Amino acid sequence: MTAPRSPFSEITPNLQIVWDSTSLGWLKTCPRLYYYKMILGVEHTGTKQALVFGLGFHGGCEEYDKLRIKGELHHEAQKQALRVGLLELGFHEEAPTCAVCGSLNLMDVDSSEGYCQDCLDTVSVETRKVWRRYDLDSYHSPEALARAIIWYTEQYKDDPFTTYTMPNGEPAVELSFVVPPGEQTQDGEELFLAGHIDRVVQDQSGNLWITDRKTAKQSLYSNYFDKYTPDNQMSLYATSGQLVLGDTPKGVIIDAIQKAVNFTRMARGYAPRTPAQLKEFIEDFKLWVFQAELYAKMDQWPMNDTSCDKFGGCPFRKICGQSPEMRDRYLSGPDFRSFNWNPLDKR
């Protein structure tokens, strides 16, 4: 099986054939939302602090998992996990630098020279990559991320669930997948499920489970984990895990991390799936893609106006509230920017 080079059809423009939980979730929420984000490639401006924090936490924990599997000591693995995680809270960019002392403290910089306040002289200018931190609130600060990584790895350093070893001898950590569930479009193109599994573990009975880590501000109340059954992402993970591993996982283990300004709280829950539920997910998936195929062929993506208030309010609500002939003008305004989501990208 050869994975496609593009997530879109070669026959029908704007028909997606490689689906991950994010793009499928957009379609299920609202076809118009899906159209703006996946087809037009537009998103609301501003740093998504929760997303940045989540990437840092996932990256750090994955680094910890890999090092521990290789035999690294707990505290050494923690140090490397912190380094990897904290680097996700910023970005690299080219910046003018004093060619004499290397300082970034320059004034009146032009293409070739500037006044260095450290050297107290006019000097030649070089450019080099520097790391800049995103503007983050106290919930998503470096301190909060470091605390989350350390406390999480402390709590689960002696986890009774052990990392599964793949048939090729590699640990089942950071598994990016593109797998065919055995379904096709109306024109006969093969469909694929794609995504990224944090880790696959075995319980003491040898059963396989997929693990997923969630960071959230809300309290981990007693029925917090109920929302993951049913759930689009967990069902796609369990279904794809069955195809990737060649064995049916029992479901998904969810490690939830409540992030706060001065504390971090953790809880573990389960989203089990039966083989019949996984079969049902595939049957429903085919119907959702059938709808997407209809929308693509008609070049019409209806809005689901019952979803406008979900998740704190849709960022495209003001666009959909405009008269149709005005929407393109607003989408090209300063509140929105280009955005590229590709389910084939590996993390």
pLDDT tens readout for residues 25-61: 999 999 999 999 999 999 998 768 999 999 999 999 9
Q: Are residues 182 and 293 in the same domain?
A: yes
Give the separation between CA 339 and CA 25, rounded to whole angstroms. Answer: 17
Q: Is residue 337 part of a domain?
A: no
Span 237-247, average pLDDT: 94
Q: Is residue 326 part of a domain?
A: no
**Within a domain: 234:** yes
* Region 120-142 average pLDDT: 90
Task: Supply the range of the domain harboring residue 125.
Answer: 90-133
Shared domain for 98 and 204, answered yes or no, is no
In this predicted structure, the answer to whether residue 110 has a pLDDT above a threshold of 80 is: no
Domain count, the chain: 2
- Determine what percent of the chain is predicted with pLDDT higher than 70: 99
Domain match, 185 and 39 both: yes
Give dist(CA 87, CA 91) in Å, integer.
8
- Same domain? For 185 and 233 the reply is yes
Give the pLDDT score at 169: 86
Same domain, 204 and 266: yes
Mean pLDDT of 106-120: 86
pLDDT of 132 higher than 90: no
C-alpha distances out from residue 307 to 24, 34, 215, 314, Å: 15, 12, 23, 8
| 96 belongs to a structural domain | yes
pLDDT at 3 over 80: no
For the chain, give the percent of residues with pLDDT over 90.
82
Same domain, yes or no, for 112 and 166?
no
Residues 32 and 127 in one domain: no
Q: Quick one: pLDDT at residue 1?
A: 60
Phi, psi (5° rounding) for residue 36?
-65, -45
Lowest mean pLDDT: which of 47-56, 246-255, 337-346? 47-56
Between CA 281 and CA 284 the distance in angstroms is 5
245 and 163 both lie in a single domain: yes
**50 found inside a domain:** no
Q: Average pLDDT for residues 59-70, to the nearest whole number?
A: 94
266 shares its domain with 210: yes
- pLDDT given for residue 47 in this prediction: 60
Q: Is the pLDDT of residue 114 over 70?
A: yes
99 burial level (CB within 10 Å; 0-12, 13-18, 19+): middle
Partners of 334 in the beta sheet? none
* 226 and 273 belong to one structural domain: yes
| Residues 232, 68: Cα–Cα separation, whole Å | 31
Asked if residue 79 belongs to a domain, the reply is: no
Mark whether 128 and 247 lie in a shared domain: no
Q: Summarize the confidence of residues 69-75 as an average pLDDT.
A: 95
Residues 285 and 239 in one domain: yes
pLDDT at 177: 95
Give pLDDT, residue 174.
87
**Residues 139, 260 contacting (CB under 8 angstroms):** yes
pLDDT in tens, 171-230: 899 899 999 999 999 999 999 999 999 899 999 999 999 999 999 998 998 899 999 999
Instruction: Find how far residue 50's CA is from the centre of its chain.
Output: 11
Question: In the predicted model, what is the mean pLDDT of residues 262-270?
Answer: 95
